[in-house]
Amino acid sequence: MPRTLTDVVFVEGVRTPFGRAGDKGIYAQTRADDLVVRCIRELLSRHPELPKERVEEVAIAATTQIGDQGLTIGRVAAMLSGLPLTTPGYSIDRMCAGAMTAVTTVASSIAVGAIDVAIAGGVEHMGRHPMGQGVDPNPRIVAEKLVDQSALSMGMTAENLHDRFPQLTKERCDAFAVASQDKLAAAYDAGKIQPDLVTMSTRHRDLGWGLATVDEPPRPGTTLADLAVLKTPFRPRGNVTAGNSAGLNDGATACILASEGAAAALGMPVRMRLVSYAFVGVEPEVMGIGPVPATEKALAKAGLGISDIGLFELNEAFAVQVLAFLDHFGIADDDPRVNPYGGAIAVGHPLASSGVRLMTQLAREFAEHPEVRYGLTAMCIGLGMGGAVIWENPHHADYVPSVDATGKVA
Question: Any catalytic annotation for residue 349?
Answer: yes
- With respect to residue 2, please indicate whether it lies within any of the assigned structural domains: no
- With respect to residue 50, please indicate whether it lies within any of the assigned structural domains: yes
For the chain, the average pLDDT equals: 95
What is the rounded end-to-end Cα distance, in angstroms, of the chain? 22
Question: What mean pLDDT comes out for the span 205-216?
Answer: 91
- Residue 66 burial (CB count, 10 A): 13
Say if residue 354's pLDDT is above 80. yes
- With respect to residue 1, please indicate whether it lies within any of the assigned structural domains: no
Torsion angle, alpha carbons of 31, 32, 37, 42, to 10: 100
Long-range CB contacts for residues 260-263, cutoff 8 Å, separation at least 24: 260/6, 260/7, 260/8, 260/9, 260/401, 260/402, 260/403, 260/407, 261/6, 261/116, 261/402, 261/403, 261/407, 261/408, 261/409, 262/54, 262/116, 262/117, 262/407, 263/9, 263/11, 263/407
Q: What is the spatial distance between Cα 328 and Cα 290, in angstroms, rounded to a whole number?
A: 12
pLDDT of residue 196: 97
pLDDT of residue 45: 98
Distances in whole angstroms, Cα of residue 17 to Cα of each of 14, 141, 334: 10, 37, 26
- Residue 338: partners with Cβ closer than 8 Å, 6 or more residues away: 312, 314, 322, 326, 331
Say if residue 147's pLDDT is above 90. no
pLDDT of residue 4: 85
- With respect to residue 76, please indicate whether it lies within any of the assigned structural domains: yes
Exactly one of 39, 173, 255, 380 is catalytic; name it: 380
Question: What mean pLDDT comes out for the span 248-262?
Answer: 97
- With respect to residue 408, please indicate whether it lies within any of the assigned structural domains: no
Distances in whole angstroms, Cα of residue 60 to Cα of each of 47, 153, 349: 20, 25, 16
Q: What is the CATH number of the domain that holds 303?
A: 3.40.47.10
3-state secondary structure of 294: helix
Nearest Cα residue to 372 out of 334, 336, 329: 336
Per-residue pLDDT band for 151 (boundaries 50, 70, 90) equals confident
pLDDT of residue 137: 82
Q: What is the spatial distance between Cα 80 and Cα 65, in angstroms, rounded to a whole number?
A: 18
Structurally, how many domains does the chain consist of?
1
> pTM of the prediction?
0.96
- With respect to residue 154, please indicate whether it lies within any of the assigned structural domains: yes
Say if residue 142's pLDDT is above 80. no
pLDDT digits (tens, 9 = 90+) for 288-324: 999 999 999 999 999 999 999 999 999 999 999 999 9
Contact 40, 121 (CB under 8 A): yes
Q: What is the spatial distance between Cα 33 and Cα 68, in angstroms, rounded to a whole number?
A: 6
Question: What mean pLDDT comes out for the span 363-375?
Answer: 98
Say if residue 7's pLDDT is above 90. yes
Q: What is the spatial distance between Cα 64 and Cα 46, in angstroms, rounded to a whole number?
A: 29
Per-residue pLDDT band for 280 (boundaries 50, 70, 90) equals very high
pLDDT digits (tens, 9 = 90+) for 323-348: 999 999 999 999 999 999 999 999 99
Per-residue pLDDT band for 407 (boundaries 50, 70, 90) equals confident
Domain membership of residue 279 as a residue range: 8-130+138-392
Exactly one of 96, 125, 129, 173 is catalytic; name it: 96
- With respect to residue 44, please indicate whether it lies within any of the assigned structural domains: yes
Angle at 9 between CA 6 and CA 10, to 5 degrees: 155
- Is the model more confident about 132 or about 370? 370
Contact 106, 257 (CB under 8 A): yes
Exactly one of 47, 255, 349, 396 is catalytic; name it: 349
pLDDT digits (tens, 9 = 90+) for 47-76: 999 999 999 999 999 999 999 999 999 999
pLDDT of residue 28: 94
Q: What is the spatial distance between Cα 230 and Cα 233, in angstroms, rounded to a whole number?
A: 9
Integer-rounded Cα radius of gyration of the chain? 20
- Is the model more confident about 136 or about 117? 117
pLDDT digits (tens, 9 = 90+) for 231-244: 999 999 999 999 99
Q: What is the spatial distance between Cα 89 and Cα 82, in angstroms, rounded to a whole number?
A: 13
- With respect to residue 262, please indicate whether it lies within any of the assigned structural domains: yes
Contact 269, 11 (CB under 8 A): yes
DSSP E strand boundaries for 237-356: 249-259, 272-281, 309-314
pLDDT of residue 149: 84
pLDDT of residue 275: 98
pLDDT digits (tens, 9 = 90+) for 96-134: 999 999 999 999 999 999 999 999 999 999 999 988 788
